[in-house]
Copies of this chain bind each other. A is one copy, B any other.
Amino acid sequence: MHIATIGAAGMIGRKLSDRLVRDGALDGRAIGRLTLADVVPAESPAGFSGQADVWSGDFSDASEIQKLVDIRPDVIFHLAAIVSGEAEADFEKGYRINMDGMRHLLEAIRLAHLSDGYKPRLVFTSSLAVFGPPFPAIIPDEFHLTPATSYGTQKAICELLLADYSRKGFVDGVGIRLPTICVRPGKPNRAASGFFSGIIREPLNGVEAVLPVADTVRHWHASPRSAVGFLIHAAGLDTSRLGNDRSISMPGVSATVGDEIEALRKVAGERAVGLIRREPDEAIQRIVGGWAEQYDPRRALELGFRADASFEAIIRAHIEDEMGGKVAVD
């Protein structure tokens, strides 16, 4: 089996490659070839016995995408996107990368299908940013998409295209709407959502973290490990169960900031919690106040997608996967 990932150099892309190599198979079929595409060269995963090719280029470009479709991967993971803040700041770039890129990919697949019946499984990472306020307290699977950002709009359009190309039989697509990834590894960043990860990651490393919002703020989280699990599950899913609705809101852990802090206390003790410094920031409070708090991911659960068991489990996964199982503050 030949698997290609577009966006392979990103955090989730790298973890996906590692998991595929570790598993050695996908949906019961041995993985013989990996093609890792991104705008910067991805690292070739260690310990893979098959053929691994690293491709770098602008895969929102129709000619680059064509090359990828020419080698006929059985499964394509399409993870590439510019993030919300950048898509909002650069309108043209957002539509070019996040929307036209997907359309070029689907068109190349459609033409290949018409020529030789090619029909790959295409797993697309959408986002819960397809939803926009006003929200009900708990968002059902049948809630309409009224994105509040260009990024969310582009993801929603990709979902519609994916569904229509799948309905017509050109591709076998699944879109998964990821929760906010937590604990995101690496350095603190300036994203408005950064503190959800920061107040866990920094204290676990013995470093102070700033908390700009109230303890009562509720949000929807999934660990990087779960996110990779969603992708793998989507790649093996029986898509005949999806009907015309090819994109699915992923399950997550609903937790308040206070819940996060209590879980940190349980896992890493009082000293870690003491490293969280409350510094209210009205701008961030306003942004986060417009986000959804919780979903009812009934459909995903029925389809076998599984979230982390608790926020404590999210922290323990981070310690295992990123810190070699050891916490610095202990």
Measuring CB to CB, which residues of chain A are less than 8 angstroms from any residue of chain B?
91, 110, 132-134, 141-148, 150, 153, 156-157, 160-161, 163-164, 167-168, 243-245
Q: Are A145 and B168 in contact (CB under 8 A)?
A: no
CB-defined A-B contacts under 8 Å, sample of 14: A91-B168, A132-B244, A134-B243, A142-B143, A142-B144, A144-B144, A146-B163, A146-B243, A146-B244, A146-B245, A147-B163, A148-B244, A150-B168, A160-B160
List residues of chain B with CB within 8 A of the CB of A146.
Answer: 163, 243-245
How far is it, in angstroms, between the C-alpha of A160 and the C-alpha of B145 when the chains are bound?
A: 9
Output the nearest chain B residue to A135 by Cβ-Cβ distance. Answer: B142
CB distance from A87 to the nearest CB of B (A): 10
How far is it, in angstroms, between the C-alpha of A167 and the C-alpha of B133 when the chains are bound?
A: 13
Q: Are B147 and A156 in contact (CB under 8 A)?
A: no
Question: Contacts A132-B244, A244-B132 given: A147-B160 contact, CB under 8 Å?
Answer: yes
How far is it, in angstroms, between the C-alpha of A134 and the C-alpha of B163 when the chains are bound?
A: 15
CB distance from A239 to the nearest CB of B (A): 14
Q: Are A245 and B144 in contact (CB under 8 A)?
A: yes
Most buried by B among A133, A146, A161, A243: A146
List residues of chain B with CB within 8 A of the CB of A148.
Answer: 167, 244
Question: Contacts A132-B244, A156-B160 given: A144-B143 contact, CB under 8 Å?
Answer: yes
Copies of this subunit: 2
Output the nearest chain B residue to A110 by Cβ-Cβ distance. Answer: B91
How far is it, in angstroms, between the C-alpha of A153 and the C-alpha of B167 when the chains are bound?
A: 11
Q: Are B145 and A144 in contact (CB under 8 A)?
A: yes
List residues of chain B with CB within 8 A of the CB of A245.
Answer: 132, 144, 146
How far is it, in angstroms, between the C-alpha of A132 and the C-alpha of B243 when the chains are bound?
A: 10
Q: Are A164 and B143 in contact (CB under 8 A)?
A: no
List residues of chain B with CB within 8 A of the CB of A110.
Answer: 91
How far is it, in angstroms, between the C-alpha of A243 and the C-alpha of B168 when the chains are bound?
A: 33
List residues of chain B with CB within 8 A of the CB of A167.
Answer: 148
Q: Are B150 and A164 in contact (CB under 8 A)?
A: yes
Most buried by B among A144, A161, A167, A245: A144
| Cross-chain contact of A153 among B132, B161, B243 (Cβ < 8 A) | B161
CB distance from A91 to the nearest CB of B (A): 7
How far is it, in angstroms, between the C-alpha of A168 and the C-alpha of B87 when the chains are bound?
A: 12
Question: Contacts A132-B244, A157-B157, A244-B132 given: A164-B145 contact, CB under 8 Å?
Answer: no
How far is it, in angstroms, between the C-alpha of A40 and the C-alpha of B134 when the chains are bound?
A: 43
Question: Contacts A132-B244, A157-B160, A161-B153 given: A145-B143 contact, CB under 8 Å?
Answer: no
Q: Are A147 and B164 in contact (CB under 8 A)?
A: yes
How far is it, in angstroms, between the C-alpha of A268 and the C-alpha of B244 when the chains are bound?
A: 42
Most buried by B among A141, A144, A160, A168: A160
Output the nearest chain B residue to A142 by Cβ-Cβ distance. Answer: B144
